[in-house]
């Protein structure tokens, strides 16, 4: 029996886990997937929204603005790539201008600084690739970009070095409170805890209702994206939005913190929350709308496309707070959930610590320090890195310039990689133009060595995604046996 069980190891669950790791409590994080950030946290736009879009007075507005304010210092502490690049929301008609004025007013009421509406001449001076059809834009200097899954990994690592345990492959089916504790039914049996925190993404409404709430319902909203390879010069420095609709913030054209270009997302309501396929129709929509912003767009440099599913709660606001006896939640965490995650952790830490009389630890270990990525080093830094560890002289991923030392370090992290995808998201090995065509065999071999398992048991991601079906020797023996039987 744990003191605290947190359901969900997305960026919000990891933020809550890290915040609560300051206290004397046995904390267990359960997740159905094989790794941290396997849901919406790995497949979103990576935008730290400033807070102009949220309705004033809502939890979304409050937590978005506070979370965005926390990002610069927090990402520096955790060693996560982050850049405050600013954003523009583009208007292509005078009707759109009215929408921008509404967003400006909302942003000011929410406490967002430096917002202003700029005209076509200034837009094109700042971003010359923008369509000549633009009329005006809302300039948002405090908007930022971050690597969402790297944020989740860093939060999880910091929680883990302070005693939080993570258990994957454990799907929660139901929760109930009886005899003074929470009983959590899972695919791996029953777990119990004095305190329960629901951060379960698309399942969060179901657990909200089981915990004593009512009427919560999640709509699974899929968004499809393109990623373009690193250009010599980024076409846009700002994140370029179009006017939002009732379905979301619309199709964006944005740089990423790693120098790619991101296009998307669509907004499609679907039944299956795990349906992350891409469709020709959806990807066609991405390009059609992205070209309204960037007429010169070409997808000849596209390296991949993907989709993610966000949990849209029908009441249009976050559900964060206390739920019954010793129960708490962060439910319906759609966009701007990534932006709000640090503030959600801060809010629930304070609420739970005070309500449950938790004792603060006398010491709290700092976040683990990770080496500077090899592909960002100067020649002198690279020479020193190789001198320090010769495995830095072995480039495994040519596209993204990732070394063997970095891959082994990713597997050995406090909450380390156990799959090819886990290595990819922690190191970028396999994220380049060949999409792992060159480096995957060696990554499989390293995972086998580090995890002490046969190569045939190494997975791309979750259960059933083994990279290899057998060995050459086994195939030869099977063929010989077949010939003998003939």
Residue pair 430/423 in contact (Cβ under 8 Å)? The answer is: yes
Q: Which residues contact 194 (CB under 8 A, 6 or more apart)?
A: 1, 2, 3, 4, 180, 181, 182, 326, 356
Look up residue 18 and give its two tokens.
């890290």
Instruction: Single out the catalytic residue among 49, 312, 326, 370.
Output: 49
Note if the bond before 367 is cis, omega within 30 degrees. no
Distance separating alpha carbons of residues 161 and 293, to the nearest angstrom = 44
Look up residue 301 and give its two tokens.
């440099």
Q: What residue has token string 């600084």?
A: 113
Q: What residue has token string 């700092």?
A: 366
Instruction: Please write down the HEC assignment for all residues of the chain.
Output: CEEEEEECCCHHHHHHHHHHCCECCCEEEECCCCCCCCCHHHCCCCEECCCCCCCCCCHHHHHHHHHHHHHHHHHHHHCCCEECCCEEEEECCHHHHHHHHHHHHHHHHHCCCCCEEEEHHHHHHHCCCCCCCCCEEEEECCCEEECHHHHHHHHHHHHHHCCCEEECCCCEEEEEEECCEEEEEECCEEEEEEEEEECCHHHHHHHHHHCCCCCCCEEEEEEEEEEECCCCCCCCCCEEEECCECCECCCEEEECCCCCEEEECCCEEECCCCCCCCCHHHHHHHHHHHHHHCCCCCCCCEEEEEEEEEEEECCCCCEEEECCCCEEEEECCCCCHHHHHHHHHHHHHHHHHHHCCCCECCCCCCCCCCCCCHHHCCHHHHHHHHHHCHHHHCEEECCCCEEHHHHHHHHCCCCCCCCHHHHHHHHCCCCCCCCCCCCHHHHHHHHHHHHCCCHHHCECCCCCCECCCCCHHHHHHHHHHHHHHC
Q: Any catalytic annotation for residue 326?
A: no
Look up residue 306 and give its two tokens.
């993907």
Give, in order, the Cα–Cα distances in Å from 460 to each of 13, 202, 455. Answer: 24, 23, 11
5: which strand partners? 28, 196
Active site amino acids: 49
């Amino acid at each position: 029996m744990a003191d605290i069980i947190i359901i969900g190891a997305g960026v919000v669950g990891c933020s809550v886990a890290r915040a609560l790791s300051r206290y004397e409590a046995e904390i267990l994080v359960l997740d159905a997937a094989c790794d941290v950030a396997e849901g919406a946290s790995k497949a979103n736009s990576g935008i730290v929204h400033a807070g102009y879009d949220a309705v004033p007075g809502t939890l979304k507005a409050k937590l978005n603005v506070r979370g965005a304010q926390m990002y610069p210092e927090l990402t520096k502490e955790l060693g996560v790539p982050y850049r405050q690049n600013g954003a523009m929301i583009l208007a292509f008609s005078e009707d759109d201008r009215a929408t921008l004025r509404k967003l400006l007013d909302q942003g000011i009421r929410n406490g967002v600084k430096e917002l202003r509406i700029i005209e076509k001449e200034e837009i094109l001076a700042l971003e010359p690739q923008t369509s000549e059809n633009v009329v005006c834009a809302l300039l948002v200097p405090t908007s930022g970009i971050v690597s969402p899954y790297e944020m989740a990994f860093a939060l999880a690592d910091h929680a883990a070095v302070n005693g939080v345990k993570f258990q994957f492959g454990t799907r929660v089916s139901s929760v109930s409170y009886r005899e003074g504790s929470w009983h959590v039914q899972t695919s791996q049996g029953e777990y119990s805890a004095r305190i329960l925190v629901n951060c379960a993404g698309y399942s969060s409404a179901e657990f909200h209702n089981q915990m004593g709430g009512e009427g919560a319902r999640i709509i699974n909203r899929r968004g499809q994206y393109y990623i373009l390879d690193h250009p010599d010069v980024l076409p846009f420095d700002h994140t370029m939005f179009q006017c939002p609709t009732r379905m979301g913030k619309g199709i964006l054209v944005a740089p990423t913190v790693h120098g790619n270009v991101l296009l998307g997302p669509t907004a499609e309501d679907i039944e299956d929350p795990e349906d992350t396929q891409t469709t020709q129709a959806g990807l066609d929509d991405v390009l059609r709308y992205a070209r309204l912003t960037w007429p010169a767009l070409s997808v000849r440099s596209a390296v991949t496309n993907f989709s993610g599913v966000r949990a849209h709660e029908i009441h249009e606001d976050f559900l964060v707070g206390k739920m019954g006896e010793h129960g708490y939640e962060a439910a319906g965490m759609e966009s701007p959930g990534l932006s709000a995650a640090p503030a959600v952790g801060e809010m629930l830490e304070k609420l739970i610590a005070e309500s449950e009389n938790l004792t603060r630890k006398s010491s709290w270990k700092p976040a683990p320090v990770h080496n500077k990525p090899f592909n960002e080093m100067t020649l002198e830094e690279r020479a020193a890195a190789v001198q320090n560890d010769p495995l830095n002289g072995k480039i495994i991923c040519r596209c993204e310039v990732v070394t063997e030392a970095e891959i082994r370090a990713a597997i050995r992290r406090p909450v380390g990689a156990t799959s090819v995808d886990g290595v990819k998201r922690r190191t970028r090995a396999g994220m380049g133009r060949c999409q792992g065509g060159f480096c995957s065999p060696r990554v499989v071999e390293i995972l086998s060595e580090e995890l002490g398992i046969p190569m045939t048991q190494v997975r791309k991601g979750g259960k059933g995604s083994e990279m290899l079906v057998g060995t050459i020797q086994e195939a030869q023996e099977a063929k010989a046996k077949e010939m003998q039987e003939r």
